[in-house]
Amino acid sequence: MMPAWLAALNPGWLMILVGIAALFIPYRQVRQVLTVGTPIAAIALLVMAPHEVDLLTAEALDITFSFYRVDSLNFIFGLAFLIASLLNAIYALHTNNPRQDGMALAYAGAAVSASFAGDLMTLFVFWEITAITSVFLILQAGTRAAYFASMRYLVIQILSGVILLDGLSYVWRYNGTLSLEAFQSFSDPGAIYIFIALGIKAAFPFMHNWLQDSYPKASVVGAVVLSAFTTKLAVYGFARLFPGFDALIWIGAIMTVFPVFFAVIENDLRRVLAYSLNNQVGFMICAIGVGTAGVGNALALNGASAHAFAHIIYKALLFMSMGAVLYRTGTTKASELGGLYRSMPWTTLFCIIGGLSISAFPLFSGFVAKSLTMSAVAYEGVSDPAMVVVWLMLLFASAGVLEHSGIKIPYFAFFGHDSGKRVKEAPFNMLLAMGMAAFLCIAVGLPAIIPGFGYQWLYSLLPYPIEASSYQPFTLEHILTQMQLLVLATFAFILLKRFALYPAEKPGTILDTDWFYRKAGYGFVQWSGTVWGKMGPATSTLFTRLSERAYKRLESAFSPRGEIARGGLSGGASIWTAVILAAVLLMSFLSA
Amino acid sequence: MSNDTTPPVRDTSGRFVKTAAEKVNAMSRTPDDGIHPMSRVLFGWTEKKGIGGIIFWGMAALSIILVLLDLIVPRHEKIGIANAVGFYALWGFAAFSFVVLMGWPLGKLLRRDENYYGDLSGPPADIDPAIADRLNAGEPKAFEGEE
Cα gap A111→A103, rounded to integer Å: 12
Residue of A100, A264, A511 with shortest CB distance to B100: A264
According to the model, what pLDDT value does residue B136 have? 59
Query: Do residues A146 and A260 share a domain?
Result: no
- CB–CB contact A264 B99 (8 Å): yes
Chain B residues 60-99 with CB within 8 Å of chain A:
60, 62-63, 66-67, 69-70, 73-79, 81-82, 86-93, 95-97, 99
Please give the C-alpha separations between residue B8 and each of A439, B21, B89, in angstroms, as whole numbers: 40, 18, 59
What mean pLDDT value characterizes chain A? Answer: 89
Please give the C-alpha separations between residue A12 and each of A17, A105, A311, A312, B116, in angstroms, as whole numbers: 9, 9, 21, 17, 41
According to the model, what pLDDT value does residue A282 have? 94
Chain B hits for A213, Cβ within 8 Å: none
- CB–CB contact B143 A490 (8 Å): no
Count: domains in chain A: 4
- CB–CB contact A485 B126 (8 Å): no
Minimum distance, in Å, between the CA of residue A491 and any CA atom of chain B: 6
User: Is residue A553 assigned to a domain?
Assistant: yes
What DSSP character marks residue A59?
E
From the number of C-beta atoms within 10 Å of its C-beta (0-12, 13-18, 19+), residue A315 rates as: buried
- CB–CB contact A140 B124 (8 Å): yes
Cα gap A347→A149, rounded to integer Å: 28
CB atoms near residue A249 (< 10 Å): 26
**Which of A482, A509, A526 is the best substitution to test chain B (most B C-beta atoms within 10 A)?**
A509
Residue of A146, A395, A502 with shortest CB distance to B100: A502
Cα gap A563→A558, rounded to integer Å: 7
- CB–CB contact B128 A327 (8 Å): yes
Query: Do residues A307 and A279 share a domain?
Result: yes
pLDDT-derived band of residue B147, with 50, 70 and 90 as boundaries?
Answer: very low
Residue pair A10/A41 in contact by the 8 Å Cβ criterion? no
User: Is residue A489 assigned to a domain?
Assistant: yes
Is A146 in the B-facing interface, judged by CB distances under 8 Å? Answer: yes
Please choose, from the candidates A243, A261, A270, A434, the residue with its C-alpha nearest in 3D space to the C-alpha of residue A346: A434
Query: Do residues A194 and A115 share a domain?
Result: yes
What DSSP character marks residue B73?
S
Is B122 in the A-facing interface, judged by CB distances under 8 Å? Answer: yes
Minimum distance, in Å, between the CA of residue B48 and any CA atom of chain A: 14
Query: Do residues A184 and A327 share a domain?
Result: no
User: Is residue B116 assigned to a domain?
Assistant: no
Q: H/E element holding A366?
A: helix A365-381
What is the extent of the structural domain holding A571? 562-592
User: Is residue A150 assigned to a domain?
Assistant: yes
User: Is residue B132 assigned to a domain?
Assistant: no
pLDDT-derived band of residue B17, with 50, 70 and 90 as boundaries?
Answer: confident
Residue A60 φ/ψ, nearest 5 degrees: -155, 140
Chain A hits for B121, Cβ within 8 Å: 143-146
User: Is residue A346 assigned to a domain?
Assistant: yes
Write down which residue in A508, A540, A570 finishes a domain: A508
Q: Are strands A63-69 and A509-510 parallel, antiparallel or unpaired?
A: unpaired
- CB–CB contact B127 A220 (8 Å): yes
User: Is residue B78 assigned to a domain?
Assistant: no
Is A218 in the B-facing interface, judged by CB distances under 8 Å? Answer: yes
Query: Do residues A589 and A533 share a domain?
Result: no
User: Is residue A406 assigned to a domain?
Assistant: yes
Which residues of chain A are under the pLDDT cut of 50?
A: 294-295
CB atoms near residue A571 (< 10 Å): 9
Cα gap A560→A554, rounded to integer Å: 11
Residue type, A453: F
Query: Do residues A530 and A585 share a domain?
Result: no
Chain B hits for A507, Cβ within 8 Å: 114
Chain A hits for B85, Cβ within 8 Å: none
User: Could you tell me if the ipTM is greater than 0.90?
Assistant: no
Query: Do residues A414 and A552 share a domain?
Result: no
Query: Do residues A194 and A264 share a domain?
Result: no
- CB–CB contact A395 B143 (8 Å): no
Query: Do residues A257 and A316 share a domain?
Result: yes
DSSP per residue, A517-560:
IIIIIHHHHHHHHHHHHHHHHHHHHHHHHHHHHHHHHHHHHHST
Residue pair B103/A505 in contact by the 8 Å Cβ criterion? no
Q: H/E element holding A226?
A: helix A220-228
Task: Residue count of chain A, please give it.
Answer: 592
User: Is residue B8 assigned to a domain?
Assistant: yes
Cα gap A110→A132, rounded to integer Å: 10
User: Is residue A233 assigned to a domain?
Assistant: no
Nearest chain A residue (CA) to B145: A147
pLDDT-derived band of residue B12, with 50, 70 and 90 as boundaries?
Answer: low
Cα gap A373→B87, rounded to integer Å: 19
CB-based contacts of A54: which residues, under 8 Å, 6+ apart? Answer: A66, A68, A69, A118
The dihedral through the CA atoms of A483, A484, A488, A489 has a sign that is negative
Chain A hits for B135, Cβ within 8 Å: 330
Please choose, from the candidates A152, A258, A143, the residue with its C-alpha nearest in 3D space to the C-alpha of residue A213: A152
Residue pair A367/A482 in contact by the 8 Å Cβ criterion? yes
CA count, 13 A, side-chain hemisphere, A287: 29
Cα gap A513→A516, rounded to integer Å: 6
Residue of B76, B92, B112 with shortest CB distance to A489: B92
Query: Do residues A375 and A498 share a domain?
Result: yes
Residue of B33, B73, B135 with shortest CB distance to A422: B33
Please choose, from the candidates A420, A437, A228, A431, the residue with its C-alpha nearest in 3D space to the C-alpha of residue A348: A431
Chain B hits for A382, Cβ within 8 Å: 78-79
Chain A residues 114-133 with CB within 8 Å of chain B:
none
How far apart are the two ends of chain B, measured CA to CA in Å? Answer: 60
Query: Do residues A318 and A405 share a domain?
Result: yes
What DSSP character marks residue A406?
I
Residue of B41, B63, B111 with shortest CB distance to A508: B111
According to the model, what pLDDT value does residue B9 have? 55
User: Is residue B34 assigned to a domain?
Assistant: yes
For the stretch A298-323, pLDDT in tens is: 888 888 999 999 999 999 999 999 99
For the stretch B113-131, pLDDT in tens is: 888 888 887 888 888 888 8
Please choose, from the candidates A531, A374, A320, A288, the residue with its C-alpha nearest in 3D space to the C-alpha of residue B82: A374
User: Is residue A230 assigned to a domain?
Assistant: no
CB atoms near residue A569 (< 10 Å): 11
What is the extent of the structural domain holding B32? 1-47
According to the model, what pLDDT value does residue A142 have? 84
Query: Do residues A210 and A324 share a domain?
Result: no
Q: pLDDT exceeding 70 applies to what percent of chain A? A: 97
